[in-house]
Structure 1
Amino acid sequence: MRRTTVLLSASLIALTATAASAQNAAPRNLILFVPDGLRGRIVTPQTAPAMAEVRDKGVHFKNSHSLFPTFTMANGSAMATGHYLGDTGVFSNTIFTGYTSVPAGDTVVPFIENDAVLGDIDEHFSGDYLNEETLLKMARAQGFSTAAIGKLGPTLQFDHADRGKTTIVIDDSTGGKNGVPLSDEMKDALTKANLPVATPGRGDNGKAGDAKTPGTTSANVAQQAYMADVAAKVVLPMFKARSKPFVLVFWSRDPDGSQHNTGDSLNSTTPGINGPTSMAGIKNADDNLAQLRKALDELGLSASTNIMISSDHGFSTISKESKTSPSAKISYADTPKDFLPMGFLAIDLAKALNLPLFDPNDKNAAVAADAHPKAGNGVLGKDPTKPEVVIATNGGSDLVYIPGKDRKLVDRTIKALLEQDYVSGIFVNDDLGRFPGTLPMSQLGLIGKAVTPQPSIVVNFRSWSSGCEEPTNCSVQVADTVLRQGQGMHGSFSRGDTLNFTAAIGPDFKSGYVDALPVSNADVGATAAKVMGLTQKPKGPLVGRVMTEAMPNGATPQAYAGTVKSKPAANGLRTVLNFQRVGTQRYFDTAGFPGRTLGLEAEENKKTAGK
């Protein structure tokens, strides 16, 4: 195993601190714009002119990284707090909470992109399931005006404990029974702007289709037009009138929603997420950004406002093919012949471990031999209320929990995973010991001060390129999801999923600068706090770095590349992790079994990823 160590000199650290301090003498405004699911190299002046302009005139972070698992709520927690997932405990979009969440449908594996579910989890974990201060919480404590507008779930996460008391929150649920309440001031302002006090639905964009019916061919235009209007016509003028610095988070559901539900490629991996629906989703998010920038200009706020853009993750096209999976050999009413069903990991592990399979999303009903769990999640064991194994299904990677921490059961589970051709990389909780073919979760920043239950095993699924000039733009992955082959997903350790889009422009950032250093979504959170002059008080140690090299007169540290390899399993498979490092910060390029993960070539033709 090759290790890399970086020691920054005292003078460099002093320079960094001095530059950052000088820049923050007068707090600026900040807009954090998150184009959900935007791939790092899909942005051009043709596909997304507004984002391309920010990138080219401001700072282009060309070596950017999503945190793994590459899911929305996980990376949203990193941007919201500046911490890695081992501290925030948001390991994916669906997690095992260790208790039954009623708002999530009486399940121990809630899907957490839901305001009511987030409130329930907060209540269970002493009022703050993240266990770290969020960006908006710190900002409002220092007198900033604060708002979060956009996609249900990650939007509220930026000030989840406040729940609209001070921070303005507008998401899919606004105006509904589960929505965060609006203040009378906001209701009046919306009415005066001729805007409804309830967010419109997604319409056709929300239609995912099924195995025989294509999904959407429409971007999420109407819903996001409403949110952009709220931001540009109501919130920004309101903030200007207050004459205080502000921070606005705008989380665009597109292109994520259009890429997930695309109807351009039913049961075929081409064009996949490169069809017209996905491209319309990218343009839709870009139009929202352009509207916000125009509003800043008209309000005279551009010179005092920093804009940071960072997508939560990249994106891939779904494959449902496997030659080894027992589940793919079963006939299901809703799944094409020989395709993997939703919940294939739970089904295959139940068979391999010879344990009964129950559905935690169907009142723990037993799963029949010719059926699959409704949401893919599974609890394994004789008594579903005391499970021996829990599978939280997410997409390009799944979480496996073994509540009893039985090492023999862990070993059997790993051996079963190693037999499947759809697996590419296995990460095991450090407390459970070392196992051939796997790497410890601590290598990925997944072991910290989280208060939510830690996974026992994180399973990465296979990925590859469908063939295009830029492989990360046409990544394909096996995905455990209700969505179909040819639609879109993320969550894997493919470089197509870890390579997100990051750019910045404004008074506290350089102009026309291309940053070759690795950065991550945790760095975005840490840097956002720094440019606003906010001081974080971390509980956990896994904190992102301030991207000083992107700031005028800021220090530019050095970066190094490294590789970690596990011991080979009995069948020769071993998990390999390619990473980069700046100081103590690790940036995860790719990981898995060589030859089964995009960006991680077979051993005989290995190249360094992320360059």
Structure 2
Amino acid sequence: MRVSALALATSVALTAAVAGPPPSQRNVIIFVADGLRYDSVTPETAPTLAKVRREGVDFANSHSVYPTLTTVNAAVIATGHYPGDNGNYGNRFNVDAPLSCANGSTVAFAEDNCALREVKKLWPKDYLGQTTIIEAARKAGLNTVLVGKRGPLAIQYLSALDSRNDDIGGPVGIFLDEAAGRSPQSPTLSGELISAAEHAAGQDKPAATTVPNLTQQAWQASVVSQVLLPRLKQANKPFAMLFWSRDPDITQHMAADSDGMLTPGINSANGRMAIYNADTSLKIILDALKRLGLDDNTDVLVVADHGFSTIAKSVPAPNGSVSGPELPFGFLARDVAGWLGAKTFDPSRNNAPIDFAKGETPKDGDVLIGATPDAPQALITNNNNDYIYIPAGPNRRQIAKRIFAKLLDAPYVGALFVNDDLMNGGDKKDFAGALPMSQVNLIGSSRLPTATIVVGFRTFVNPACTLGELLCAAEVSDISLHVGQGNHGSFSRADTRNFMAAIGPDFKAGAVITSPVGNMDVAPTAAHLLGIALPGTGKHHGRVIGEALKGGKEPKVLKSTIASDKAPNGVQTVVVMQMVGDTKYFDAGGIPGRMVGIPQQ
């Protein structure tokens, strides 16, 4: 493995200087616009977001965490720690124990509140073992409010799933996700707050999710602005709030106005409407802060969990055009089973056999591979970056080598990462072409099961799109959605490039911050603004973004390129990153020429 480093010439200070501590009674709101791309924010499509970026702090070098998945980054936003420390490795990950909420499967779906409870019970010190920012705020005596998307919302403070939702000062604060009143796993409003919500928003629970998600988010924003914020003001205590907007993510995933076509893909009219919907939710909240006189004492951090790309189902030709046969849902599992000469079983359907030759596909994308489901040779969990778990045993290394050798020749592969225990436990040439998982912070203090091989899929720029590289990115996706709809999860710069901005009394005004920042910095920065401690274990974490605060100075930044040894066929995984102190910010990672952000060498 080769490592090179170059200090940025624009760096003007040795460290990120943080101004003096903010007032002890400051409030903080974290607004998450799920799947919002930095370059998609314009004054026409997103006037409020554009205004925050223009009048507050524009984070012009922002980063999602890889894998660029929703719950991965929800846990990072919550704790300030990378997946290796917080244990949330994917939207779907192996927990090595059957889950009643998953029909006996060992694969947890982290957008399900029931599964989150089970995983935390199984791995209390290793799944979200760090204190989250909302939990820390509540323990420090602040009022806390969580509103928005199911799954990532609960990750912010799992105990809040037991909220009575009857009073703003309840023991675990207010928790309102989209399933309130629709699922026994999500608390609904109670007491006086029911009638108040009905008066403000027309009904006492949010509407079902739609595309675009207009009605549901209108209810959520109305309850926040007309019910919860007034009561927070009346309580006269500092508060921390997180609002998770489902749009534009859900609409970019599900939009049908470009079905089957890479162009315009997620840059369609529905995609723009979804961005405007998130923008409207933010405007309602900011207007309420001003109306209530809370804006002068409330810092607002706006962040997206990840970027987005348009779905492709075929490997592009050298000129970028896509015309080959479409890959079926579960194509990696199908191929791995063929390489091993084994059968496939669906853990989401009571381990029912899957016959890919007959067009059958796995329900959720997870597949057990082996002679029988009770003694698998491998488990694949579907995260767009698919994870291959190989059980411990005398044949583990040989099975991994057989799979890896074939992956090197698979044209849909865009990046390869292998567990450190295999990279360090034998001949280094066995996995030449891959980087160790620890290099991208997928191994840390958590003891939750880690994948044996992480396979990133190929991404490319659609040559028919004229909106710029990152808005025109497409990615080969192992997903049941169609070409022309949207997805994320890759190590492309299009997916790591999220929107980030901030405004409030402690932030600079009209500032463009060019040093790298990311989702891992949200919790440490919020804790600093609130004047509270944020305890945690592990060393893979973010920092206080001191350069964005009044009186703060730009930090020293280091650029690094990490490259694996080359495989016999020339395949090599490269990661381009930036560092501030010990905090890593990954721009992109993959095989040169197969990943947007990693140029052909």
Tell me the TM-score normalised to structure 1 length: 0.90
Tell me the amino acid that sits aligned with residue 174 of structure 1: A
Q: Which residue of 2 aligns with 1:227?
A: 220
Change over 3 Å in CA distance of 1:337–1:556 after alignment to 2: closer
Q: How does 1:101-500 map to 2 (within 5 A)?
A: 101-126=99-124, 129-165=127-163, 166-176=172-182, 177-193=184-200, 195-203=202-210, 205=211, 219-322=212-315, 338-368=325-355, 369-370=357-358, 371-395=360-384, 397-404=385-392, 406-433=396-423, 434=428, 435-466=431-462, 467-500=465-498
Tell me the amino acid that sits aligned with residue 5 of structure 2: T
Which 10-residue stretch deviates more, 448-457 or 276-285?
Answer: 448-457
* 1:69 pairs with one of 55, 67, 70: 67
Which 10-residue stretch deviates more, 543-552 or 119-128?
Answer: 119-128
Asked if the contact 2:154/2:160 (under 8 Å) is kept, the reply is no
After TM superposition, give the deviation of residue 231 of structure 1 in Å. 0.9
After TM superposition, give the deviation of residue 5 of structure 1 in Å. 8.3
CA distance in structure 2 between the aligned counterparts of 1:377 and 1:164, rounded to whole angstroms: 30
Tell me the amino acid that sits aligned with residue 402 of structure 2: R
SS of alignment partner, residue 3 of structure 1: strand
SS of alignment partner, residue 415 of structure 1: helix
CA distance in structure 1 between the aligned counterparts of 2:316 and 2:203, rounded to whole angstroms: 51
Change over 3 Å in CA distance of 1:128–1:29 after alignment to 2: farther
CA distance in structure 1 between the aligned counterparts of 2:103 and 2:315, rounded to whole angstroms: 31
Q: 1:272-324: per-residue Cα shift (whole Å, max 9, x none)?
A: 00110111000000011010011001100000000100100000000011499
Asked if the contact 2:201/2:222 (under 8 Å) is kept, the reply is no
After TM superposition, give the deviation of residue 6 of structure 1 in Å. 7.8
Q: How does 1:7-22 map to 2 (within 5 A)?
A: 16=17, 19=19, 22=20
* 1:56 pairs with one of 23, 31, 54: 54
* 2:561 pairs with one of 563, 569, 575: 563
Q: Which residue of 1 aligns with 2:167?
A: none
Asked if the contact 1:195/1:230 (under 8 Å) is kept, the reply is no
After TM superposition, give the deviation of residue 181 of structure 1 in Å. 4.6
SS of alignment partner, residue 375 of structure 1: coil
| Structure 2: segments with no counterpart, 5+ residues | 164-171, 318-322
CA distance in structure 1 between the aligned counterparts of 2:202 and 2:538, rounded to whole angstroms: 42
Tell me the amino acid that sits aligned with residue 231 of structure 2: M
Change over 3 Å in CA distance of 1:61–1:323 after alignment to 2: closer
Tell me the amino acid that sits aligned with residue 392 of structure 1: T
Tell me the TM-score normalised to structure 2 length: 0.92
Asked if the contact 1:568/1:574 (under 8 Å) is kept, the reply is yes
Change over 3 Å in CA distance of 1:561–1:95 after alignment to 2: same
Change over 3 Å in CA distance of 1:323–1:300 after alignment to 2: closer
CA distance in structure 2 between the aligned counterparts of 1:442 and 1:269, rounded to whole angstroms: 34
SS of alignment partner, residue 16 of structure 1: coil
Tell me the amino acid that sits aligned with residue 249 of structure 1: L
SS of alignment partner, residue 193 of structure 1: helix
Change over 3 Å in CA distance of 1:232–1:399 after alignment to 2: same
After TM superposition, give the deviation of residue 199 of structure 1 in Å. 2.0
Asked if the contact 1:577/1:592 (under 8 Å) is kept, the reply is yes
CA distance in structure 2 between the aligned counterparts of 1:524 and 1:144, rounded to whole angstroms: 18
CA distance in structure 2 between the aligned counterparts of 1:513 and 1:601, rounded to whole angstroms: 30
Between the two proteins, the alignment pairs up a number of residues equal to: 571
Tell me the amino acid that sits aligned with residue 175 of structure 2: V
After TM superposition, give the deviation of residue 187 of structure 1 in Å. 2.9
After TM superposition, give the deviation of residue 188 of structure 1 in Å. 4.6
Q: Which residue of 2 aligns with 1:331?
A: none
After TM superposition, give the deviation of residue 153 of structure 1 in Å. 0.7
Change over 3 Å in CA distance of 1:514–1:430 after alignment to 2: same
CA distance in structure 1 between the aligned counterparts of 2:552 and 2:52, rounded to whole angstroms: 20
After TM superposition, give the deviation of residue 363 of structure 1 in Å. 0.4
CA distance in structure 2 between the aligned counterparts of 1:187 and 1:449, rounded to whole angstroms: 42
Q: 1:83-136: per-residue Cα shift (whole Å, max 9, x none)?
A: 111111111111111111111233222322011111121122237721111111
Asked if the contact 1:130/1:451 (under 8 Å) is kept, the reply is no
After TM superposition, give the deviation of residue 184 of structure 1 in Å. 2.8
Asked if the contact 2:160/2:175 (under 8 Å) is kept, the reply is no
SS of alignment partner, residue 41 of structure 1: helix
Q: Which residue of 2 aligns with 1:328?
A: none
Q: 1:448-469: per-residue Cα shift (whole Å, max 9, x none)?
A: 1124211111111111111324
Is 1:542 aligned to 2:530, yes or no?
no
Q: Which residue of 1 aligns with 2:522?
A: 524
Is 1:31 aligned to 2:29, yes or no?
yes
Identity across matched positions, percent: 41
Q: Which residue of 2 aligns with 1:46?
A: 44
Asked if the contact 2:348/2:363 (under 8 Å) is kept, the reply is yes
Which 10-residue stretch deviates more, 533-542 or 254-263?
Answer: 533-542
CA distance in structure 2 between the aligned counterparts of 1:128 and 1:175, rounded to whole angstroms: 31
Change over 3 Å in CA distance of 1:388–1:161 after alignment to 2: farther
SS of alignment partner, residue 113 of structure 1: coil
CA distance in structure 2 between the aligned counterparts of 1:105 and 1:139, rounded to whole angstroms: 35
Q: Which residue of 2 aligns with 1:4?
A: 5
SS of alignment partner, residue 54 of structure 2: helix
After TM superposition, give the deviation of residue 578 of structure 1 in Å. 0.8
Tell me the amino acid that sits aligned with residue 450 of structure 1: S
Asked if the contact 1:29/1:246 (under 8 Å) is kept, the reply is yes
Asked if the contact 2:149/2:244 (under 8 Å) is kept, the reply is yes
Asked if the contact 1:139/1:534 (under 8 Å) is kept, the reply is yes
Q: CA RMSD in A?
A: 2.0
Q: 1:384-408: per-residue Cα shift (whole Å, max 9, x none)?
A: 133221111122x111111216111
Tell me the amino acid that sits aligned with residue 464 of structure 1: F
After TM superposition, give the deviation of residue 258 of structure 1 in Å. 0.5
Change over 3 Å in CA distance of 1:34–1:356 after alignment to 2: same
Asked if the contact 2:64/2:519 (under 8 Å) is kept, the reply is yes
Change over 3 Å in CA distance of 1:566–1:78 after alignment to 2: same
Q: 1:392-447: per-residue Cα shift (whole Å, max 9, x none)?
A: 1122x111111216111111111121121110110111111141000001111111
| Structure 1: segments with no counterpart, 5+ residues | 206-218, 325-335, 604-611
